Amino acid sequence: MTLTLAGRLQTRLVLLAAVGVLWTLLIVPALPGPVSAAAAVATIGVIALLGLGWELVYHLCQQLRWDKDWPSVFTLVAGVPEAVVAWPALVALGLAPASVTTYVLHFGSTWVVIWLAMQGPIRALFPRWRYDGGLFGVHRSEGEVGSRSETERYRMTRRTVAVATGIGVTLAVVLAIGVTVLGGLQSPPSDASDGAAGSPGTAERQRDRGDNAGSRDSARRNRPIPKRVAIRAIGVRSKLVTLDAKKGGRMELPRRARAGWDTRSAIPGRKKGVAIIVGSIRKSAIRPGVFKKVPRLEAGAKIRVRRSDGKKAIYVVTGMVSYPVDQFPAKYIYAPTKEPLLRIITAGGGLYPGNSSGYVVVTSRLDATR
């Protein structure tokens, strides 16, 4: 079963549209977590589009082989890179399911079903498919028979290839650019808050404030600032960036892999007031948030913050609450307290799998300063 480039493109589109979509509709109710059928079908669409580019890559790879063909198991394994590349595209387009497991189950099973279909059943339906290099749409009208029609047909095929390749490459490039641009924005669209003062809402553009900027601030204000945070219980270790309020009261967010300290809050280790540390809780396999394991945190766990003056503040976790995006009690969370507290506020998800938006607030009390 050797496919020509035109055959590959046709086969991919036909199989995804027929077998892939059918299978998706069948399997959606069985997938874990809340999954919308529309998003799942759209996922198949994205895979089909990206696939036009992939087929080109496979075709080029096979040029290095004398047989211009490769083992069918390669076709099966090719699902892995395709799945990995499609994920950020899906995230950027807001189509990604809440958990990676759901995605893997959906993509993996669809891929295997399509692969199995290619190994035989498709040939029972379209016996000429494999002799036509994977083309379905070879039309042979009565009048053509016995004429030199096939040459014309091949001209048609080449035009089809050219057009399909053009479309595929363009789409792939557009998608790649889209993914890069959108990928730079950390929070998903659902995180967009009403911009209430003090809430860790989505900024138009997030920028990582470097440590230099932080030290300049500290020099100006002449006070120690927190530099690092560590929560051994869940394996968190991160430098702390400094986060300033911007125009309109919105706050900067750090990059996903970093945590940040809100400069308007108390300095960790002080005898009173609330210190606020902010970070992402995203569970993405590709770019997980620094606090992705926060849901596993238990009361009594220790949070250690090291400051620029070398002192270390140790807090003990007392509680954890999650809030939907529109119910974040900013006033309560930021309100000054007599007790020395540290609050970790995470954006981009709740406490349970499948919850991809909302805030989690971890509250802890100062235990010691060394």
Partner 1 sequence: MTSSPREEIPFISIGGGLGSFALVHRLRIAGVPEDDIRVISPHRAPYERFAALCRASGLLDEDKLRSDSSARMDNLWGFPSYAVEESWRTRRPGPLARVLAEPVLCDYYTPSVGLMRAGMARETDRIGWDSMLVEGSAIKVARQTGGGYLVLVRRDGADRPVAYRCGHVHLALGPAALQISPEAAEFRSGPLGGDRIVHIYEPHEHVHEALAAQGGEVLVRGTGIAASRVLQRLIDDREASGQDVRIRHLFRHYQRGDVGPIWFRKRGGYGFSHQAFNFPKAAVAGQLRDRTRRLAEDERIEFVKEIGATSTPYRGYWASQLRRGRDEGWYQAVVGEVAAFKTDGDEVVARISLDTGKALEVRAGFVIDATGVDRDSRRHPLLADLVADTDASVNPLGGLRIDEDFTVVGAESGDGRVFASGMNAQGGYLAPVDSFAGLHSAAMSIADALAGRGIGHRLTPLKSVLGWLKWMRGQQP
- Decide if residue 94 touches partner 1 (CB under 8 A): no
Helix (H) or strand (E) holding 179: helix 149-184
Nearest distance, CB of residue 112 and partner 1, angstroms: 13
Binds partner 1 by CB under 8 A, chosen from 81, 94, 108, 121: 121
Nearest distance, CB of residue 134 and partner 1, angstroms: 8
Distance CA(82)–CA(302), nearest Å, equals: 41
- Decide if residue 128 touches partner 1 (CB under 8 A): yes
Structure tokens at 212: 């230099």
Binds partner 1 by CB under 8 A, chosen from 25, 68, 197, 300: 68
- Decide if residue 352 touches partner 1 (CB under 8 A): no
- Decide if residue 71 touches partner 1 (CB under 8 A): yes
Give the total of residues touching partner 1 (CB under 8 A): 43
Distance CA(51)–CA(31), nearest Å, equals: 23
Binds partner 1 by CB under 8 A, chosen from 123, 270, 293, 365: 123
* Region from 101-109, 141-149, 206-214, 256-264 binding partner 1, contact rule CB under 8 A: 141-149
Residue 22: name the closest of 10, 37, 7 by CA.
37
> For residues 126 and 323, which CB has a smaller minimum distance to partner 1 in the complex?
126
- Decide if residue 79 touches partner 1 (CB under 8 A): no
Q: Could you tell me where the beta strands, DSSP code E, fall in 64-131?
A: none
- Decide if residue 67 touches partner 1 (CB under 8 A): yes
- Decide if residue 170 touches partner 1 (CB under 8 A): no
Q: How many CB atoms lie within 10 A of CB 144?
A: 13
* Region from 86-94, 132-140, 297-305, 355-363 binding partner 1, contact rule CB under 8 A: 132-140
Structure tokens at 301: 């766990």
Q: Calculate the CA dihedral of residues 290, 291, 297, 303 and round it to 10 degrees.
A: 60
Cβ partners under 8 Å of residue 24, min gap 6: 37, 40, 41, 43, 44, 106, 110
Binds partner 1 by CB under 8 A, chosen from 145, 212, 220, 310: 145
* Binders in 99-118 for partner 1, by CB under 8 A: none
* Region from 142-150, 236-244, 246-254, 266-274 binding partner 1, contact rule CB under 8 A: 142-150
Q: Calculate the CA dihedral of residues 103, 107, 108, 112 and round it to 10 degrees.
A: 160
Structure tokens at 33: 């977590």
Nearest distance, CB of residue 65 and partner 1, angstroms: 9
Helices and strands, counts by H and E, the chain? 10, 8
* Region from 4-12, 167-175, 237-245, 361-369 binding partner 1, contact rule CB under 8 A: 4-12
Nearest distance, CB of residue 154 and partner 1, angstroms: 6
> For residues 36 and 72, which CB has a smaller minimum distance to partner 1 in the complex?
72
Q: What value, to the nearest 5°, has the Cα angle with vertex 151 and ends 149 and 154?
A: 115
Binds partner 1 by CB under 8 A, chosen from 36, 52, 103, 131: 131
Q: How many CB atoms lie within 10 A of CB 301?
A: 17
Structure tokens at 179: 């993914």
- Decide if residue 144 touches partner 1 (CB under 8 A): yes
Is 213 within 8 Å of 87 (Cβ atoms)?
A: no
* Region from 12-20, 39-47, 61-69, 263-271 binding partner 1, contact rule CB under 8 A: 61-69
Is 332 within 8 Å of 273 (Cβ atoms)?
A: no
> For residues 145 and 219, which CB has a smaller minimum distance to partner 1 in the complex?
145
- Decide if residue 139 touches partner 1 (CB under 8 A): no
> For residues 160 and 308, which CB has a smaller minimum distance to partner 1 in the complex?
160
Q: What is the DSSP secondary-structure string of 230-257?
A: EEGGGTEEEEEEEE-B-GGG-B----TT
In the complex, which residues of this chain contact partner 1 (CB under 8 A)? 1-5, 7, 63-64, 66-74, 119-121, 123-128, 130-134, 140, 142, 144-151, 154, 157
